[in-house]
């Protein structure tokens, strides 16, 4: 199985490749992508609160492609949501404000290949994420790799199994009828294998996000994504 | 206020139909769902969307519970001369929202 995992990882394919034509069209729609309702809110907030320090949001180009990363100020590895929360304390996980700002900033890196730094202080987090990815858990006793490497492209409950790539997040998930963070999506996988869900912002979720970003090296994002 | 987005073409031909796109931020709760503890989630939907052009109503629709969250409507309007297109929506609690755009006729 490790051999197939190795081969599957050779070509990275965004989760949108595993979606229907209708969902692909929805994501590509520059007006009707419902995630843009959150981005609009993010743009409004950026104008009110962020321009003072950061200027135009275009200055954020390429930033999201380097996250999660180790922040010297915070002394730990953080994802984009946590970095924004550090700037603006009080923004709750999955609130429209936080999702909107995250999507707005992440959007500036659309088309830029994901490339995260796991040298130095981020190395231990990366190692933790990698071991979580291969660790079986929950009542179904499944590791991420059992679906997202070994069974990619096969069908699980009428849905094709994707490679579990983190590009395009935050994404509008039709099941949620809302934009949601990558952490929310990861928690949904924990729920799916009947494991205990880590809290939002927990070190484990950030470590997993970092490992996924390493795994997605070179993949280009298209935020906000749309998924079933 | 219920937020939304509106898009019309930059410029249209006189008398030719042009596409109007509307996307509204709304949960569209159909009233048939329950919380985990059994409590009903009350119905909460946008039930009317109307479009006026130069003050005259040119399109309207009554929405029901079968419409998904964040409704996306596309319809066609004809314009003889330049004017303001305004789309208004209202939900069953009486909350409103609107968007407007100027239409240039070439």
Q: Of how many residues is chain B composed?
A: 106
Dist CA B12 CA A202 (whole Å): 52
**Residues of chain A contacting residue B3, judged by C-beta atoms under 8 Å apart:** 37, 40-41
A171/B contact by beta carbon, under 8 A: no
Residue A38's domain comprises 2-227
Q: Over the stretch A39-90, which tens digit does the pLDDT of each residue have?
A: 999 999 999 999 999 999 999 999 999 999 999 999 999 999 999 999 999 9
Please give the pLDDT value at position A95: 96
CATH number for region B4-105: 2.60.40.10
Q: Over the stretch B35-85, which tens digit does the pLDDT of each residue have?
A: 999 999 999 999 999 999 999 999 999 999 999 999 999 999 999 899 999
Dist CA A29 CA B64 (whole Å): 25
Query: Residue A172 pairs with which residues in a beta bridge?
Result: A179, A226
* CB-CB contact of A180 with A99 (8 Å): yes
Question: What is the model's pTM?
Answer: 0.91
Mean pLDDT of chain A: 93
Mean pLDDT for the stretch of residues A1-23: 75
pLDDT above 70 coverage of chain A, percent: 96
CB pairs under 8 A between A and B: 28
Q: Encoding tokens for residue B19?
A: 């596409």
Identify the band that residue A11 occupies on the pLDDT scale cut at 50, 70 and 90: confident
Give me the residue from A36, A174, A177 closest to B5, CB to CB.
A36
Residue A210 DSSP SS3 = helix
A34 to B5: CB separation less than 8 angstroms, yes or no: no
Q: Of how many residues is chain A composed?
A: 228
Of B68, B66, B27, the C-alpha closest to B44 is B27
Total count of domains within chain A: 1
Task: Delimit the domains of chain B by residue range.
Answer: 4-105
The Cβ-side half-sphere exposure at A155, using a 13 Å CA radius, reads 3
Read off the CATH number of the domain in which A85 is found. 1.10.760.10
Mean pLDDT of chain B: 94
In this predicted structure, the answer to whether residue A2 has a pLDDT above a threshold of 60 is: no
In this predicted structure, the answer to whether residue A225 has a pLDDT above a threshold of 60 is: yes
């Amino acid at each position: 199985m490790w051999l197939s995992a190795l081969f599957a990882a050779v070509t990275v394919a965004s989760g949108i490749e595993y979606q229907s034509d209708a969902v692909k069209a929805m994501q590509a729609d520059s007006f009707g992508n419902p995630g843009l309702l959150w981005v609009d809110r993010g743009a409004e907030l950026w104008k009110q609160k962020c321009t003072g320090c950061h200027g135009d949001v275009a200055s954020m180009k390429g930033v999201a492609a380097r996250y999660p990363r180790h922040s010297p100020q915070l002394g730990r590895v953080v994802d984009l949501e946590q970095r924004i929360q550090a700037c603006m304390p009080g923004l709750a996980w999955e609130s429209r404000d936080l999702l909107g700002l995250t999507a707005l900033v992440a959007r500036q890196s659309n088309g830029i290949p994901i490339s995260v730094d796991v040298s130095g202080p981020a190395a231990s987090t990366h190692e933790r994420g990698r071991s979580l990815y291969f660790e079986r858990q929950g009542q179904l006793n499944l590791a991420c790799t059992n679906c997202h490497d070994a069974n990619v492209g096969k069908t699980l409950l009428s849905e094709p199994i994707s490679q579990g790539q983190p590009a395009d997040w935050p994404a509008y998930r039709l099941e949620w009828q809302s934009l949601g963070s990558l952490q929310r999506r990861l928690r949904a996988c924990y729920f799916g294998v009947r494991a205990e869900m880590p809290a939002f912002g927990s070190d484990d979720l950030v470590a997993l996000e970092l490992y996924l970003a390493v795994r997605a090296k070179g993949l280009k994002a298209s935020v906000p994504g749309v998924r079933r | 206020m219920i937020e939304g987005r509106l898009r019309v073409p930059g410029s249209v031909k006189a008398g030719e139909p042009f596409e109007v796109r509307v996307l509204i931020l709304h949960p569209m709760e159909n009233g048939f769902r329950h919380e985990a503890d059994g409590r009903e989630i009350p119905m909460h939907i946008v039930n009317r969307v109307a479009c006026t052009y130069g003050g005259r109503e040119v399109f309207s629709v009554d929405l029901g519970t079968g419409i998904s969250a964040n409704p996306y409507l596309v319809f066609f309007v004809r314009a003889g001369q330049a004017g303001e297109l305004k789309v208004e929506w209202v939900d069953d609690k009486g909350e409103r929202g609107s968007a407007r755009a100027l239409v240039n006729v070439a």
